[in-house]
Structure 1
Amino acid sequence: MPPSPAKTPSERRVTAERRGHRGEALAALFLQIKLYRIRDRRFKTPMGEIDLVVEKGNTVIFVEVKTRARNADEYLTHAAINRNRISRAAQYWLARHPSETGKDFRFDVIFLAPGRWPRHLINAFPAA
């Protein structure tokens, strides 16, 4: 969605968004190295956005990427993920791609922090 013309985003918000875009690109590269196939990036739905939709074998994976400026506590970050939003957005993606409905699917999370390797949490949470 284009930004609202009525409000100019703050410098802090722009910096956070750029960091998020870089994190998603790094996560996509990381998954490609692990032989995942990228299906969609930043898939927007009325319910929200899915950072990455990837595929490996007969499984479609919806990936949430969490980029932090510091090495934050992953447990707190994982607990803060809006699982209902991601689940509803995934259902929307599956409805838009009916040929994929017979495949398995799961939800993964990739944590990124400076000076650390990406941490890939496979099957991070069940569908809501």
Structure 2
Amino acid sequence: MSRQAAERRGRTAETLAAWYLRFKGYRIVARRVRTPLGEIDLVARRGGTLAFVEVKARASEMELALAIDQHRLRRVAAAANALAPRFARADDAIRIDVMLLAPGRWPRHLENVWHG
């Protein structure tokens, strides 16, 4: 897959993930927020919970199983740490979530995946 096609697929996946989270009662606070430590795909809020969300789209469920690992989650956690002062309120519960998307499947929302 070309870089352009991968970028397009990523943006589409992020849009679908954002709609799914809205359906679950979240408000999307920001999309594609870059830091020197990495990028956060979505920042979402529901009540007193602020979630930094990594979105992964793959062609199959099998490929999704390999899409997230500790190395990637460490980068997301570092970026979330850098961004928390910008988005978090004093009493927020802050967590890292992952959205997994594959064609023909409902999105999977994994909550609070980082315990570093």
**Structure 2-normalised TM-score?**
0.90
**CA drift at 1:85:** 1.1
Match of 2:94 among 102, 105, 113: 105
1:1-128 matched pairs, under 5 angstroms:
12-79=2-69, 82-97=72-87, 100-126=89-115, 128=116
SS in 2 for 1:91: helix
* Equivalent AA in structure 2 for residue 88 of structure 1: A
Could you list the structure 1 runs, at least 4 aligned residues long, displaced by more than 3 angstroms after superposition. Answer: none
Structure 1 gap segments, 5+ residues each: 1-10
**CA drift at 1:25:** 0.3
Overall identity of the aligned pairs, in % = 46
The CA RMSD measured in Å over matched residues stands at: 1.7
Give me the whole-angstrom Cα distance separating, in 2, the residues matched to 1:74 and 1:68. Answer: 6
* Equivalent AA in structure 1 for residue 38 of structure 2: G
Give me the whole-angstrom Cα distance separating, in 2, the residues matched to 1:43 and 1:116. Answer: 27
Can you list the C-alpha shifts for 1:7-60, whole angstroms capped at 9, x where unaligned?
Answer: xxxx71100010000000000000001110111100111111000000111010
Give me the whole-angstrom Cα distance separating, in 2, the residues matched to 1:60 and 1:81. Answer: 22
In structure 2, the CA distance between the partners of 1:116 and 1:81, relative to structure 1 (3 Å rule), is farther
SS in 2 for 1:86: helix
| Of 46-55 and 86-95, the range deviating more from structure 2 | 86-95
SS in 1 for 2:105: coil
SS in 2 for 1:78: coil
> Quick check: 2:64–2:102 contact (8 Å CA) kept in 1?
no
Can you list the C-alpha shifts for 1:103-122, whole angstroms capped at 9, x where unaligned?
Answer: 11111111000011101111
The aligned length equals 116
